[in-house]
Amino acid sequence: MQIILFGAPGVGKGTQAKYLAEKFKINHISTGDILREAVKNQSALGLKVKEITSRGELVPDNIMAGLIKETLFSEKNKNGFILDGYPRTIDQAKLLEQILSELPNKNIYFIHLIADADVIVERLTNRRVCSVCGTIVNLNLISKKNECPNCKSADSFIKRKDDEESVIRHRLSVYENTTFQVLEFYRNKVNIIEVNGTDQIESVKENILAAIKN
Ligand code: AMP
């Protein structure tokens, strides 16, 4: 099973991808997480992309191509994967099509999570990530504002640099002007599952599962 989770930044792809990965026992591949890890480790890739990602720009396709080929052809992804944050350009979509055509067992699902820009800005400005266990929370939706609801660590929340409002607005414009075209690319190729990403997390999960079963 190969799932492509598509949607604007902040629509909830990461949260849903983690859940689906566990449910279907497939690997969650977040290109954003891979890049953040590279930046944190100051690897050659990290040094190249640090400025680009902090401004909310897209990392160039040639850099993403190396990263995605290496990831998707690795042994641990041979039974399937869930892609979160890739593809974001038509060139990336074309490369993915080529990679998928080489995979022996194909069962591709394309899920589009939908949300209004206003909801996304509200969500991202209040988004925090637990630095201990990686859980993503919205500060408005948890009762204890400085305790991770998953691992109970205190004061472990960090705000991503690109979750500042000006950067969020830029990321949304990149999504609308560039990434959104990817949806059209897939329109005649796969059955697109559309799910409202602004519902409660549990309802979004259920709606995705129901659509996959159908
Ligand atoms: P995300 O966590 O998916 O929102 O990604 C964070 C940042 O990483 C994005 O704003 C981009 O700068 C970069 N990035 C992640 N995935 C890609 C991609 N497929 N193509 C280009 N840049 C990406």
- pLDDT, residue 202, reads 94
What share of the chain in percent tops pLDDT 90?
A: 88
Distance 214 CA to ligand 1 centre (A): 30
Structure tokens at 134: 């990686």
Indicate the burial class of 166 (C-beta count within 10 angstroms; 0-12, 13-18, 19 or more). Answer: exposed
Q: Which of 183, 171, 211, 184 is nearest to 195 (CA)?
A: 211
Distance 53 CA to ligand 1 centre (A): 7
Cα distances (angstroms) measured from residue 85 to each of 31, 33, 153, 154: 6, 9, 28, 29
Q: What is the pTM of this model?
A: 0.91
pLDDT in tens, 87-138: 999 999 999 999 999 887 789 999 999 999 899 999 899 999 999 999 999 9
Which protein residues touch ligand 1 with a CB less than 6 Å away?
9, 31-32, 35, 52-53, 56-59, 64, 85-86, 88, 92, 162, 171
Mean pLDDT value of segment 165-186:
95
Which residues are the active-site residues? 13, 88, 127, 160, 171
Amino acid, res. 51: E
Class of domain 2-115+176-213: alpha beta
Does 66 or 78 have the greater pLDDT score? 66
Which atom of ligand 1 lies at the shortest distance from residue 88's CA? Answer: 19
